[in-house]
Homo-oligomer: A and B are copies of this chain.
Amino acid sequence: MKTIGFIGVGIMGKSMVRNLMKAGFTLHIYARTRAKVEDVIDEGALFYEDIGSCVEDCDAVITIVGYPEDVEEVYLAEGNIFERARAGAYCIDMTTSSPNLAKQLYAKGKALGLHVLDAPVTGGDVGAKNGTLSILVGGEEEDFKACLPLFKAMGTNIQYEGKAGNGQHTKMVNQIMIAANLSGVCEALSYARKKELDLDAVLAAVSSGAAGSRQLELLGSKILAGDLNPGFFVKHFVKDMRLAAEEAEESGLKLDILLQVLKHYQALETDGWGDLGTQALIKHYEE
């Protein structure tokens, strides 16, 4: 495996492209606006003006775009990946997207002789930059194994989760926990602030104990500093939670906490805060 087509060269995508080139792969990239990816072109990525040309000679195609609709578009629209990728190519969708869509793409790809994997990630922009992403993979196990060199260029915690769709399901598990944990952080810190506690002393007391969480580590001090800049966007988290809620409902599960947190975030988005970081949930409690 030598040549990779990469669709979705955003903040995370750019870091992933760089790490793949560093590992020796040749990168074909597509972007709607060439000016936004000049830096990685300068570093050696080959630019294409349409998705079909970008992917047609590649051994593998990686996609990491915004919403399930975008995933559908890049794979299924006329002239795009499923029309132009060569038989035997690996198609890896790393977008956090619908498990059902992942299953459909797997089946359609298989009929075309393509090896489709769903491989959403966790670890955010920092993990992408440092090549320390967690990568949650669903699909055929031998396809997973064939793509390991590529995954290892981008991540450190690379997990095979079973059949097509299971990478996405595992990501849903992850987001369900984050939704609750981050709510807990916001509720607890708004309590601490309201009771006029010494916030540094409170964090020192609780961070390392039974209340500790990665969300508290990552976002607790940002919340206290009033820094709502995005590590992870409110609008993307809304998408993830919506997918998880739909999937849960489809299975007859009522995840009350997830639904409540989703409501809070949807209200934030409606109020125009979709481009803030997820820690903006504190606004629900303090405004």
Given contacts A157-B209, A213-B212, A255-B285, A180 and B169 within 8 Å (CB-CB): no
Q: In the complex, which residues 147-205 of chain A have their Cβ closer than 8 Å to any Cβ of chain B?
A: 157, 159-162, 166, 169-170, 172-181, 183-185, 187-192, 194-195, 197-198, 201-202, 204-205
Q: How far is the CA of A166 from the CA of B170 in the complex (A)?
A: 40
Q: Which chain B residues lie closer than 8 Å to A190 at the CB level? A: 253, 255
Q: How far is the CA of A185 from the CA of B273 in the complex (A)?
A: 27
- Within 8 Å by CB of A206, from B177, B206, B212, B255, lies B177
- The copy count of this chain in the complex is 2
- The stretch among A50-58, A74-82, A221-229, A243-251 that forms the contact with chain B is A243-251
Q: How far is the CA of A159 from the CA of B159 in the complex (A)?
A: 39
- The stretch among A10-18, A109-117, A257-265 that forms the contact with chain B is A257-265
Q: Are A180 and B187 in contact (CB under 8 A)?
A: yes
Known interface pairs A122-B206, A161-B198, A256-B264; 11 further A-B residue pairs with C-beta atoms within 8 A, sorted by A's residue number:
A99-B195, A122-B211, A134-B209, A157-B205, A159-B201, A170-B192, A178-B211, A184-B184, A210-B218, A211-B214, A212-B213
Interface CB pairs A-B, < 8 A, 30: A122-B210, A134-B208, A160-B201, A161-B205, A169-B192, A169-B197, A170-B192, A173-B191, A173-B197, A174-B205, A174-B206, A174-B211, A177-B213, A179-B184, A180-B180, A180-B183, A180-B184, A183-B257, A184-B184, A184-B257, A187-B256, A191-B248, A191-B251, A194-B248, A210-B215, A211-B214, A212-B213, A255-B285, A256-B260, A257-B257
